[in-house]
Structure formats: structure tokens, C-alpha cells
Amino acid sequence: MMPRPLILVLCTGNSCRSHLAEAILQKALGDDFEVRSAGSRPSGYVHPLAIRVMAEQGFDLSHHRSKHLDEFLECEVETVITVCGKADQVCPVFPGQVNRHHFPFDDPAEATGSEEEQLTVFRRVRDEIAAVFGAYAAGRKDAVHRSS
């Protein structure tokens, strides 16, 4: 059995955007792909508001952890997707890497104001990520079906 292609979603802190994208993309692609996330300077935690806004959509990020991209340097990463400018600038080339994409999003962890105002930003970014990664997943699945 062929191993599933590994898609690595990178961000600087690996506390928000990359986890949102990992969960959304894994669900959209299903079992044909493996999706993971990491950061160039991991924060050491997954932001509680990221966990909360994803739970609103039926995703459980409570088991996610903030990881350094070095954990994947020995893996055959088929695709790297960066979701912030800083991660794109420091992204190494991984063994077996075929594709690289950059889809930048605002960092909801930088949102200020009341908790409700911050949640509004987290929800907006979640929804933007869902739109972009949903379209990306549809394209990948279509390409797989055309080649089989």
C-alpha cells in the first residue's frame, strides 16, 4: 500500500492559522492524504480561541499541540503550504517535496479588544481558511480522480 501524501501547513507560531488549516484540509481531503501543521518558532500552545471557534464547526483541536517544523525534516513531505509571510521566508525544502504554496492570512492571535471582538477575528480567519483550503482540496481531489 502506498503511503498517503503528506501535506505540511506551516506558520510561525503554530498556535492558530496552521491548526485551523490542518483540521479543515484534513476533513476536506479525507483519508487519501495526511495533513499536519508546524511552526518555525512554535508558541508552545494552541490558542484557546482557535480551539473554541473550531469547536463551533464540529472540529476538536483539544488534542493538537504546537510543533516545530524540524519534527518533519526527515519525513517525505509532498506539499508545503505556508499561511503566514514569516514562515514562507524560513521554509526549508523537505525530502520528497513536490509542491509549495503560500496562502497568507491575518494572524487572529494579534486581535485586540474584548473577547467577543477577538472571536470575531478568529471566526473571520477560520472562514477565510475554510474557503481557500476547501477550494484547494477540491482541486487536489479532482486531480486524483482524473489520474486514476
Q: Does residue 11 have an active-site annotation?
A: yes
- Active-site residue, from 6, 9, 11, 80: 11
Identify the CA nearest to 91 among candidates 102, 107, 78, 105.
102
C-alpha cell at 72: 518533519
Q: Give the three-class secondary structure for 111.
A: coil
CATH of domain 6-142: 3.40.50.2300
Instruction: Please report the pLDDT score of residue 141 as a whole number.
Output: 83
Instruction: Please report the pLDDT score of residue 7 as a whole number.
Output: 96
Q: What residues have CB less than 8 Å from 40, skipping those under 6 apart? A: 10, 11, 12, 68, 69, 86, 87, 90, 91
Instruction: Please report the pLDDT score of residue 1 as a whole number.
Output: 64
Domain ranges of the chain: 6-142
pLDDT means per 10 residues, the chain with 148 residues, are 87 94 97 94 96 98 95 91 74 72 93 97 98 95 72
- Active-site residue, from 91, 109, 111, 137: 91
Whole-model pTM?
0.91
Altogether, the residues listed in the chain come to a count of 148
- Active-site residue, from 84, 125, 130, 137: 84
